[in-house]
Amino acid sequence: MMNSMKLRARLADGVIYAILSVLSIIWLLPIAYLVLMSFKAEKGPYLDGYIFPKGYTLGNYTGLFTNTELFSYPRWFMNTLFVSILSCVISTAFVLMVAYALSRLRFAARRPIMNVALVLGMFPGFMSVIAIYHLLKAIGLDKSLAALVLVYAGGAGLGYYITKGFFDTIPRALDEAATLDGATRWEIFYKLTLPMSGPIITYAVLTSFMAPWVDFILASVIMKDNYQNYTIALGLFRMLERENIYSYFTSFCAGAVLVAIPISILFMLMQKNYVEGVTGGAVKG
C-alpha cells in the first residue's frame, strides 16, 4: 500500500514537472527567437525557410549607437533611464509613506480612503490618458519628460496594499516603545520602520522602476510627435512601422534585448528581497 502511494506521488510529480517543462519552453521560445534575430545578418523579419539565420553579426547592436540619424536609440535610452529613476524615487517615497500612514494611523477617513483607492485601482490606467494629456497640455507640460515623471509618480500611492500588508506585520509594540522614549512619528517611520523593511522597499523600487521602463501607452499619448523625448518602448515601436520594419527589424530585436538587460539584472540581484516583500505583504490588514 505504501509503495503504491509513493508510486502515484512520483507519477503525479513527473506529470507536473513535464507540464512545467513544456510551459517553460513555450515561454522561452519567443525570447530565444528575439535574441537569435538580434544577431541576424540578413535584413527583414523572416528566415526564408531556414530555422536559423544564414549569417550572424554584431552590427545590429553597434548600429543602434552609431546609426542615429533616423532612430536615436542612445537618447531614447537616456530619456527612459532618467524618467524611470526619477519616477522610481518619487513613487517609492509616496507608496511607503501612504502605506505607513494607513497601517499605523487611525483616523475617520482611513477606511473610505482605502475603499476608494481599491475601486480606482480596478480601472485600467489607459482609460484616463486622454484627460491626462489635456490637463498636461493646459499647464504647458505636454510632450515633456517632466510630464511622464508626474504621471507615473502621481498615482503611486494607490498601490499601497502590498506595502501596507508588510507594515502590518511589524509589531506595534515597537512603535509604542519608541514613543515612550520620546521619538516622533517621523523618527519612528524613518529610523525604526524603514530599516526593518528592506524586502518591501525592494519590491516598491522594482515595481516603480519597471512601470515607466516598459510603458508604451502613456508615453505615446503624451509625447505625440516629439521625437527627441521618445522613450525606448515608443522608439522601438516606430522601428516596426510598415515603412521601417524590413530595414530595422533586426535593430529592433537588438534594442529589445538591450532594454531587457537592466531590469533582468535588477531582478536577479534583488530576487530574494522581492519575493520576501511580496509574501510578507500578502496579509490581511
Inside any domain, residue 99:
yes
- For residue 138, the domain's CATH number is 1.10.3720.10
Inside any domain, residue 38:
no
Amino acid symbol at 9: A
Give 78's pLDDT tier (boundaries 50, 70, 90): very high
Q: What is the pLDDT of residue 26?
A: 92
Inside any domain, residue 16:
no
Least confident of 40-49, 181-190, 210-219, 242-251: 40-49
Which residue segment(s) compose the domain that 219 sits in?
62-281
For residue 128, is pLDDT > 60? yes
- Residue 178: partners with Cβ closer than 8 Å, 6 or more residues away: 187, 188, 192
8 A C-beta contact, residue 83 and residue 222: no
Q: What is the pLDDT of residue 276?
A: 57
Inside any domain, residue 229:
yes
| C-alpha cell of residue 111 | 477606511
For residue 104, is pLDDT > 80? yes
Inside any domain, residue 224:
yes
Closest listed residue to residue 256, CA positions, set 35, 5, 9: 35
Q: What is the pLDDT of residue 23?
A: 93
What is the pTM (predicted TM-score) of this model? 0.82
Burial classification of residue 82, based on how many CB atoms lie within 10 Å of its CB (0-12 exposed, 13-18 middle, 19 or more buried): middle
For residue 284, is pLDDT > 80? no
8 A C-beta contact, residue 94 and residue 155: no
Q: What is the pLDDT of residue 285?
A: 47
For residue 1, is pLDDT > 60? no
Inside any domain, residue 54:
no
Q: What is the pLDDT of residue 19?
A: 94
Least confident of 47-51, 114-118, 232-236: 47-51
Q: Which residue has the higher pLDDT, 110 or 272?
A: 110
Question: ∠ CA(171), CA(176), CA(178), 5° rounding?
Answer: 105
Looking at every residue in the chain, the average pLDDT score rounds to 84
Query: What end-to-end distance do the CA atoms of the chain give, in Å?
Result: 45
Q: How many domains does the chain have?
A: 1
Inside any domain, residue 188:
yes
Inside any domain, residue 176:
yes
For residue 102, is pLDDT > 70? yes
What are the tens digits of pLDDT across the range 253-282? 999 999 988 888 877 777 666 555 555 544
Distance between CA 161 and CA 272 in Å, rounded?
Answer: 20
Q: Which residue has the higher pLDDT, 238 or 284?
A: 238
